[in-house]
Amino acid sequence: MTHSISIAGLVKEYDGRRVVDEVGFHVAAGEVYALLGHNGAGKSTIVEILEGHRTRMTGDVTVLGMDPAHGGRELRDRIGIVLQSSGIEDELTVTEAVDAYRACYRRPRPTAEVVAMVGLDEQADQRIGSLSGGQRRRIDLALGIVGQPDVLFLDEPTTGFDPAARRGAWELVRRLGEGGTTVLLTTHYLDEAERLADRIGVLSHGVLIAEGTPAELVARSGRTTVQFGLPDGTPADDLAGLVPRHATVDARRVSFATETPTAAVHAVTSWAVERGLELADLQVTRPSLEDAFLGLVEPADDGEELP
Amino acid sequence: MIATAPAFPSAPGLIGQQVRYQLRTFSRTPIAVFFTLMLPVTMLVLFNALFSGEEVNVGAGRLPLRHFYTGGLAAFTAVSATFTNLANIVPIRRDEGVLKRWRSTPLSPWIYIAGTIGSAVVVAVVGVVIVLTLGVVAYDLQVEAAKVPAAIVTFLVGVAAFAALGVAVASIIPSAQAAPAVANAIILPLGFVSDVFVAISDPPAWLDTVGDIFPLKPFVQSFQAAFTPAVEAPAFQWGPLARVALWGVVGLLVARRWFRWEPTRSTGRRRRRPREV
């Protein structure tokens, strides 16, 4: 399978501070890849290097077989970019803005189609200056896809969206992905990465610390949690040998993590059935991507954010 | 797959499209329209109402004051439409991220700049025509056919030079907030020593020198020369025009060296949300 995006040994420093540290990954043609990380993890820097907006210090980077630092017009015609924050001419209407931007591509989508794809039909003739923040963000999306890009970069595409608008944007990205568009998106929303991405790369302090499908990441972090209420009149000591030593008992609720949930549940339930006990609220919980993510990265340094 | 892709749209077509859409944004910005087009007209009417019937000495010869105002304010309108306009709008577009968005598209950077300058020149043409028409209709301005080529050449050299200087100032202005102050701090005082607002019949030598160093006075006087009976046709003022052109080249070099497509990191950015590195 050909790679739409290839990165190896990418390094970027700002004022001597390393914000991208030896990052490498590939995104296959037609794949949706999410870079997941806290603010300041280096996601946007990587994406802006791929878009050609930033220079890199060292490393090999290709997008559609071209070096983004020198790809020029040929590359920009085949990529779509939704920047994290960038203005549009407020004086234009939605339709006029899409018309203005689509004119410079070689194989643009029809304006009405793009406006409909992002759900702005009703606002098509409104001035952009009169739109809400979420609606403006949808124009960002519209201008990102108007050139029918082979590769679409989405830098935190749904920040500031209400839940309905977010689902709409997810639906759009999924449709684009199904249509063969390669998508690289950055997000700090785990549900977004889980819903959209074929694969996820987890960034922490400029280092790619994990990579895989959502299921792989979960499986990697992860041990399943078994929980149940201790039956009345049963001392916790009775469980000795039955549950792992690291099990905790809190307010008569037993909880432990295990890599072999089937065996663990069997042991506990057999024990209970033999004694005619009912285990209140027995739960077997798969770890979520959030658990996996939190297990991988340290908490964000709120005070450390570059301007 | 690239082989099957159609050709890029042609450069002239793209420039035309940029000019059209930038004119549309300009025409929907009332404050810019007022300051660029209506203010010179207002000044023309007011100045003539306040001081009429006199004659003045300027570099080009002896002019009736009403001709002086018409030619001077027409030239000033061209400067407002190019220099002042570009020095204001380019930093605004840069701070808002509009320039960076265009930089993300396959549109060549020079075409975007050409479209921006082209739209400013169109506004300048409209403004100059309005002021001159008012001059002919109300203030007895005479347009001699033999001097029209000189007027057009002077206009073209002027708008080219002042557009380049406007983009140059935009390149070194740190943020959009500073832009109106910087542009006006340059152009308004210069207007007073460059025969735009007042005719100084016997100026101190140093003021004359200041006016001659900067490009506004040579441009204004060259333009006035094309409309005064005191100067014989064809009325080309090659010396002053060369000085204007030289300033334009300086502007071009500054813009080439320092033009930026992105906001300065520390200033001017409208932070819509916390920015990540």
Tell me, yes or no, whether B270 lies in a domain.
no
> Do A83 and B104 lie within an 8 Å CB cutoff?
yes
Domain count, chain B: 1
Q: Is residue B51 part of a domain?
A: yes
Position B54 scores a pLDDT of 74
Element (H, E) at B207: helix B205-213
pLDDT number for residue B266: 47
Average pLDDT over residues A62-76: 92
**CB A88 to CB B276 under 8 A?**
no
Residue B205 maps to a domain: yes
Question: From residue A243, how far is each of A265, A266, B252 by CA, in Å?
Answer: 9, 11, 78
B62 has a chain A CB within 8 A of its CB: no
Tell me whether residue B214 is in a domain. yes
In a domain, B268, yes or no: no
Facing residue for B97 by CB, picked from A14, A86, A100? A86
On whether any CB of chain B is under 8 Å from the CB of A40, the answer is: yes
Q: Does residue B263 sit within a domain?
A: no
Closest among B98, B96, B207 to A97, alpha carbons compared? B98
Q: SS3 letters for chain A? A: CCEEEEEEEEEEEECCEEEEEEEEEEEECCCEEEEECCCCCCHHHHHHHHHCCCCCCEEEEEECCECCCCCHHHHHHHEEEECCCCCCCCCCEHHHHHHHHHCCCCCCCCHHHHHHHCCCHHHCCCEHHHCCHHHHHHHHHHHHHCCCCCEEEEECCCCCCCHHHHHHHHHHHHHHHHCCCEEEEEECCHHHHHHHCCEEEEEECCEEEEEECHHHHHHHHCCEEEEEECCCCCCHHHHCCCCCCCCEEECCEEEEEECCHHHHHHHHHHHHHHCCCCCEEEEEECCCHHHHHHHHCCCCCCCCCCC
Tens of pLDDT, residues B82-121:
999 999 999 999 999 999 999 999 999 999 999 999 999 9
B165: domain range?
14-258
Q: Is residue B31 part of a domain?
A: yes
Write the pLDDT tens digit of every residue in A121-151: 999 999 999 998 888 889 999 999 999 999 9
Report the chain B residue with the minimal C-alpha distance to residue A68.
Answer: B104
**Domain-located, residue B101:** yes
Given CB atoms, is A41 within the 8 Å cutoff of chain B? yes
* Cα–Cα distance, B212 to A258 (Å, whole number): 86
Hey, how many other C-beta atoms are within 10 angstroms of the C-beta on A202?
22
Is A305–B275 a contact, with Cβ atoms under 8 angstroms apart? yes
Neighbours of B118 (CB within 10 A): 19
Per-residue pLDDT at A298 exceeds 70:
no
pTM > 0.95: no
pLDDT of residue A294: 73
Least confident of A47-56, A243-252, B249-258: A243-252
Cβ contact, residue pair A147, B270, below 8 Å: no
Residues of A in contact with B8 (CB under 8 A): 73, 77, 104, 106
Question: Which positions of chain B have pLDDT values less than 70?
Answer: 1-5, 52-53, 58-61, 200-201, 265-277
Q: How far is B271 from chain A (nearest CA, A)?
A: 8
